[in-house]
Structure 1
């Protein structure tokens, strides 16, 4: 059971996914700060300096439409930035590689390949002892 978990964790995709989640969370904080620091003051400036009251009541129940609008703006900015800064360039690179304009990444050097094989053999031997 422990070996299966170790194999699962050591796969490259899991590590890449974890890094993506952490970077996404940090990026979300950046977009939220941008919204609060620049967009909300800009909206306040356009509205004549008034505090934008974004609530209304129905039978004493408060609806905060401004909070929802802020979340929509934050989502749209996050999605647009991720698309234009990460997805679009990666798609362009994949297209160039498919057309042969961009060289494939180089294979590791012979010494690196040999060291990798030695590491794999040592790991396999260690697993047999456990």
Structure 2
């Protein structure tokens, strides 16, 4: 029972699903807090004198709802890269190495005889039996 469970966990699609769940939940909050607290203020500092808005501009001056926030887009891209790197190096790469080791441990057994070889062997055994009779 435990071997079956282990095989189930080591299948590629289960690992991919687990990686997707991790990307969507666990690391998002941590990385978002990091980038909002440290990276976005640095990006907004480049934005100019209006530090409250950050890196971007208003399409219609005086209308804050038309503000194009380039700093937020850059921040989201940095979030994605950090999350993807963490998931790859912490989860995907180690699982691939484990699967490669498991594959290396399995040696190829002797080759199965072909149908022609089996039929030839049966024919020869039948001839031998007929000669003895």
TM-score (norm 2): 0.50
Match of 2:117 in 1: none
Query: How big is the shift at 1:39?
Result: 2.8
CA RMSD of aligned residues (A): 3.6
| Largest Rg, 1 or 2 | 2
| CA apart distance, 1:92 | 0.7
Aligned residues: 87
Residue in 2 that maps onto 1:66? 71
How much does 1:26 deviate? 2.2
Gaps of 5+ in 2: 1-8, 107-133
- The one of the two structures with greater contact order (alpha-carbon pairs below 8 A, sep at least 6) is 2
Tell me the distance in 2 between the aligned counterparts of 1:22 and 1:89: 15
TM-superposition CA deviations, 1:56-111 (whole Å, max 9, x none): 1234432111011110000110011000100011001111111119xxxxxxxxxx
Gaps of 5+ in 1: 1-11, 102-130
Flag as ranges the 4+ runs of structure 1 deviating above 3 A. 16-20, 40-45
Q: TM-score, normalised by structure 1?
A: 0.50
